[in-house]
A and B are shown apart, each in its own frame.
Chain A
Amino acid sequence: QKEVEQDPGPLSVPEGAIVSLNCTYSNSAFQYFMWYRQYSRKGPELLMYTYSSGNKEDGRFTAQVDKSSKYISLFIRDSQPSDSATYLCALNPHNAGNMLTFGGGTRLMVKP
C-alpha cells in the first residue's frame, strides 16, 4: 500500500462545476498538507497548504484536512478551463524539513 493514495483520473467536468480532489494517507505523523498544481510539461507550483486539521480558503480554492480519517481534499468552485492541470497532494511530517511525500496526482480537465 502506498503511503499516499490519489485517484489518477482523468476527471472531466464542465466549466463552472465544483470540483473535489482527494487524497488518503496512512502515516499519522503527517502534519503539513499541501496541494500543488502542475500544468502539462511544467514544474509543480504550490497552491494551498494547511497545518493539522481544518479548512483553509483562498479565492475559489478550499483545502480541507481530516486527520481522524487521514483524508485531505481540495475543492475548486466555479471551475475554469485554465484550472485544467494535474493536482498533486503532498504531505510532510512535523519537523522533517521539506521531505515531502507526494501523491501520484489527479489530472483534471475542465471543458468550456
Chain B
Amino acid sequence: DGGITQSPKYLFRKEGQNVTLSCEQNLNHDAMYWYRQDPGQGLRLIYYSQIVNDFQKGDIAEGYSVSREKKESFPLTVTSAQKNPTAFYLCASSTAWGTGELFFGEGSRLTVL
C-alpha cells in the first residue's frame, strides 16, 4: 500500500530534550512537508523539501530542524529551543505542483511534560 508513515504516534518528552519524529513515504513524491497543528489555528508549515539534500524554512521553523538525505525520508527534530513544542505534527508529500494535493500521514502527537 502506498502512503506516508509517521512514527511514533504518541511521544512524551521532558523539557530540555530533543526528539525526532520519523516520516517515510513510498509514493515516489519529490516534495515533503512538516506541519504543526494546534487547536483552532489550522496547519502551519514548519519546513519543506522539494528535492533530496535541499530544504527550506516554513513559517514557524524556529526550534526545529530537518534533513532530507533520501527521497523517501524527511525526519523532523524538535529541539529544546522550541518554546512550546506540545502539538500534533503532520508530515505530507506531493508531486503535483500548483494544485495543492498533499498526502498526509496520520500524525504524531508530542506532549512535553
Kindly state the interface size class of chain A when it binds its partner.
20 to 34
CB < 8 Å A-B pair total: 73
Closest to B50 in A: A97
Kindly state the interface size class of chain B when it binds its partner.
20 to 34
CB pair A49 B100 closer than 8 Å: yes
Contact among B44, B102, B104 for A98, CB-based, below 8 A: B102
CB pair B42 A92 closer than 8 Å: no
Contact among A41, A45, A46, A94 for B98, CB-based, below 8 A: A94
Of A34, A43, A49, A88, chain B has the most CB atoms within 10 Å of the CB of: A43
| Secondary structure class of chain A's binding surface, majority of residues | loop
Closest to A100 in B: B100
A45-B104 contact in complex given A88-B42, A92-B99, A97-B97, C-beta closer than 8 Å? yes
A44-B90 contact in complex given A88-B43, A97-B31, A97-B50, C-beta closer than 8 Å? yes
Contact among A6, A8, A44, A98 for B97, CB-based, below 8 A: A98
Rounded to whole angstroms, the CA-CA distance of A49 and B100 in the bound complex is: 8
Rounded to whole angstroms, the CA-CA distance of A6 and B42 in the bound complex is: 9
CB pair A98 B106 closer than 8 Å: no
CB pair B98 A97 closer than 8 Å: yes
Q: List the A side residues contacting B99 at CB < 8 Å.
A: 32, 49, 51, 92, 98
Interface residues in A85-105 by Cβ distance below 8 A to B read 88, 90, 92, 94-100, 102-105
> Does B33 sit within 8 A of A, measured CB to CB?
yes
Closest to A99 in B: B45
Q: List the B side residues contacting A41 at CB < 8 Å.
A: 106-107, 109
> Does B105 sit within 8 A of A, measured CB to CB?
yes
CB pair A42 B42 closer than 8 Å: no
* 9 tightest Cβ-Cβ pairs between the two chains A and B: A43-B104, A102-B42, A92-B100, A102-B43, A104-B42, A98-B94, A34-B100, A104-B40, A32-B100
What are 6 contact pairs spanning A and B, CB under 8 A?
A: A32-B98, A32-B100, A43-B6, A44-B90, A98-B48, A102-B42
